[in-house]
Amino acid sequence: MAATQRLSSVLAHLNPLSESTGRANVLQKNPDDIVITYAARTPLTKAKKGALKDTPIDDLLIALLTIVRERSNLDPSLVEDVCLGNVLAPGQGYMARSSVLAAGYPVTTAASVANRFCSSGLLAIQQIANQIIAGSIEVGIAVGAESMSTCPDDGAPVLSTKVTEHPLAGQNLQPMGQTSENVAEQFGITREMQDAFAARSFQRAERSQKEGWSKDEIVPITVSVKGKDGEVKEVLADRDDGVRYGTTKESLGKIRAAFPQWKPSATTGGNASQITDGAAAVLLMKRSKAEELGQKILGKFVAATIIGLEPRIMGIGPSYAIPKILSKTSLKVEDVDVFEINEAFASMAVYCVEKLGLDPEKVNPRGGAIAFGHPLGCTGARQVVTALSELRRQNKRIAVTSMCVGTGMGMAGVFVSEH
């Protein structure tokens, strides 16, 4: 097998004109590739209202990690590290390690935490991949999880005057809503443009849900939910509950501005990401290890990168991160089959799609965070689970995932479907 892979690699170099050289290189199969052998997510449900509202993050993690252990057809003693992408939970280190043990992994399975705001899930994937590349571990799980119901986002803490009086660092005191309005004002992204984008997100998510596209992404979990009468019931959480059927640009146009204190006041509850609970997990190892263990390969992690920008317009981070990752992988925009760009706000999403000249049909074909939510630490991993599923549905190969990151950053990754 290794000899065949080396031969195909050589032939691709000898015949670069058959397809984009970057694309051909990315699609090659090599023993040292970092591959994904299991990928799944919970449903995403509305914070304070949905099925996961009373599920603490450790219970959410235990439920998902147990499913990974049971369904991945892998001896759990081979899992050496679980990296949790999470933003808001207190005592993350305690919670990550304890959840891994409670989910049935042996005492030898370690745990770590990655936190880079909205990119934490992708950062967790990168951390596990980098450990495997470096030879530190052979098998690891990356998880992104957030319970925004039980761990609310309180914004920036009290910071030093050296920060608050600094022209760049001081911008980190601006709430996320203000940064959305900054993007809209600076780049001329109108309320109508934002509502049109948001309507398309809802409509795509509605179609995806009705036609069952996400069924191979989502693993249902049984959770306890407290009703308005105080009674606790067991409920099966099995679908994203934020998708509002029948949403149109016109219906969104009737929603009042969320931030009238900041001009142009074009951001609303209808064209911004929903506050949501959820978790996603990806199992990673080298191709050679997967073949040795008889693991089914779903896809591979190619690369990821990060870049910084002015915090006040943090939303446009993908417009910098995507060109950077394409350059590093020698890919062209047209080589990419699916772009999963986190819809933190329609303002930034509209800007990024237009700035990069992306085909709108390739961007978030199942809808995005505006339609079904953005659990901060979960999103970076959730996007990968979604992208691999969508590539399978379309019988396509290459996806780029990207998101803006609070405090002024953008992250992007490249993934390949092999199933």
Contacts of 48 (CB under 8 A, 6+ apart): 149, 275
Residue 50 burial by CB count (10 A; 0-12/13-18/19+): exposed, middle or buried?
buried
Longest dimension (CA), the chain: 70
Of 148, 140, 150, the residue nearest 114 (C-alpha): 140
The one catalytic residue among 83, 151, 352, 404: 404
404 is an active site residue: yes
13 is an active site residue: no
The one catalytic residue among 83, 151, 374, 378: 374
Residue 332 DSSP label: -
Is residue 256 a contact partner of residue 270, using CB atoms and an 8 Å limit?
no
Is residue 252 a contact partner of residue 76, using CB atoms and an 8 Å limit?
no
Neighbours of 354 (CB within 10 A): 14
Number of H helices, E strands in the chain: 14, 12
Instruction: Report the distance separating Cα 192 and Cα 228, nearest Å.
Output: 37
Is residue 285 a contact partner of residue 138, using CB atoms and an 8 Å limit?
yes
Is residue 40 a contact partner of residue 67, using CB atoms and an 8 Å limit?
yes
378 is an active site residue: no
The one catalytic residue among 118, 151, 352, 378: 118
Residue 338 DSSP label: E
Q: How many CA atoms lie within 13 A of 309 on its CB side?
A: 21
How far is residue 280 from each of residues 83, 129, 143, 187, 383, measured CA to CA in Å? 12, 16, 6, 33, 9
Backbone angles phi, psi at 322, to 5 degrees: -65, -50
Active site residues: 118, 374, 404
